[in-house]
Amino acid sequence: MTILTHRPRRMRKHAHTRKLIRENNLTTSDLIFPIFIIEGENKRQSIDSMPDIKRLSIDQLLIEAAELIELGIQAIALFPIVPSKKKSLHAQEAFNPNGLAQRAIRAIKQKYSNLAVISDVALDSFTTHGQDGLINDEGYVLNDETIKVLVKQALSHAQSGSDIVAPSDMMDGRISVIRKALEENGFIHTSILAYSAKYASHYYGPFRDAVGSSVNLGTSNKETYQMDPANSNEAIREVGLDIDEGADIVMIKPGLPYLDIVYRVKQTFGIPTFTYHVSGEYVMLKAAVQNNWLKEEQVVLETLLAFKRAGADGILTYYAKQAAGWLK
């Protein structure tokens, strides 16, 4: 008989032992549910490219919020779908105090103050061209001019009650200017979630369909401001700059294809780190499940646990509601 000093399998024999030594755990507190909001009343619109995800009017958003709270979800991320007639070259609707996002934030916070609201700060939903910023005559996205609008947008969200403003635009230097504006206007407790390493990914397609920016964007791309998927060291520099400028939380987007970035960021900075399990990742799993190629509950929970193992503190995922039900 072979005598082995080390038998790692002995710690795997029983379920109770496996649980005792488990290094990472996924809980409902890790999950953030992205929600698309639309104008109108009593509306739940299906999204062809995103199975089981709906666009919700504000009254339906409140119903959804109650269900999420019951499941133990702590936070939602809001993404408005802006009617074409309200889109413009200068994105004025982005900072309208009575805009869709602003009204939705107020409605949630008035009824469910214990549910954290993360509000998207970017202009792609508000521009006629679908870019995240203002453009010049050549179509190039202008950095400093865009920041001026982003500051107005972030302030309007803070004034409406947003707990966390989330600049997802990838303009240089916008975090410091937004932080300064929040401080000067008394919003010292409004946190900033900086999309610090947001890649020019092809996994965003269904999201752009959902918010209606894909048609406006057309054949254009966002490669002049979002990051090159080939780069890793650049992400560390981007994250470091945002931290220095006052970010409270940083975001890596997309998720699964960039777990190496999540790990490096967490190991390097130790700051609260979120990642976004984006629309393309979500629909790939849905497609595989619908074809009976994968078991949904098991593969989704394994996927979300991978984010935790890499170092993510929070996970934005369209599976948040389902996953919370499975975990509960």
Q: Are 255 and 171 in contact (CB under 8 A)?
A: no
Token representation of residue 10: 């002995």
The DSSP result for 257-282, as a single string, is: GGHHHHHHHHHHH---EEEEE-HHHH
Catalytic-labelled residue, pool 19, 43, 54, 198: 198
With respect to residue 15, please indicate whether it lies within any of the assigned structural domains.
no
Catalytic-labelled residue, pool 222, 253, 286, 308: 253
Question: What Å distances lie between residue 32 and 14, 102, 243, CA to CA?
Answer: 32, 19, 22
| Closest CA relative to residue 166, chosen from 191, 197, 193 | 193
With respect to residue 4, please indicate whether it lies within any of the assigned structural domains.
no
Q: Are 317 and 323 in contact (CB under 8 A)?
A: yes
List, as residue ranges, the binding site.
238
With respect to residue 167, please indicate whether it lies within any of the assigned structural domains.
yes
Q: Specify the residue for token string 């010049």.
A: 136
| Closest CA relative to residue 306, chosen from 265, 262, 248, 241 | 262
With respect to residue 62, please indicate whether it lies within any of the assigned structural domains.
yes
What SS3 state is found at 221? coil
With respect to residue 6, please indicate whether it lies within any of the assigned structural domains.
no
Output the pLDDT for position 123. Answer: 95
d(CA 78, CA 96): 16
With respect to residue 8, please indicate whether it lies within any of the assigned structural domains.
no
pTM of the model: 0.95
Output the pLDDT for position 218. Answer: 73
Q: Are 216 and 126 in contact (CB under 8 A)?
A: no
Domain count, the chain: 1
With b for 16 or more beta-carbon neighbours within 10 A and e for fewer, the 265-302 pattern comes to bbeebebbbbbbbbbbbbbebbeebeeeebebeeebbe
List, as residue ranges, the binding site for Mg(2+).
238
CATH assignment at residue 281: 3.20.20.70
| Closest CA relative to residue 30, chosen from 218, 272, 281, 256 | 272
With respect to residue 313, please indicate whether it lies within any of the assigned structural domains.
yes
205: Cα separation from own chain's centroid: 15
With respect to residue 133, please indicate whether it lies within any of the assigned structural domains.
yes
* Residues of the domain holding 118: 25-327
Question: What Å distances lie between residue 196 and 1, 138, 183, 201, 296, CA to CA?
Answer: 56, 26, 21, 14, 31
Contacts 24+ apart (CB under 8 A), 292-300: 296/322, 297/326, 300/326
pLDDT per residue rounded down to tens, the chain (328 residues): 789 999 999 999 999 999 999 999 999 999 999 999 999 999 999 999 999 999 999 999 999 999 999 999 999 999 999 999 999 999 999 999 999 999 999 999 999 999 999 999 999 999 999 999 999 999 999 999 999 999 999 999 999 999 999 999 999 999 999 999 999 999 999 999 999 999 999 999 998 888 877 667 777 889 999 999 999 999 999 999 999 999 999 999 999 999 999 999 999 999 999 999 999 999 999 999 999 999 999 999 999 999 999 999 999 999 999 999 999 8
Q: Is position 253 annotated as part of the catalytic site?
A: yes
All residues at 6 or more sequence positions from 252 whose CB lies less than 8 Å from its CB, including other chains: 196, 197, 198, 235, 258, 261, 262, 265, 273, 274, 275, 276, 312
| Closest CA relative to residue 277, chosen from 22, 23, 19, 34 | 34
Token representation of residue 47: 């999204």
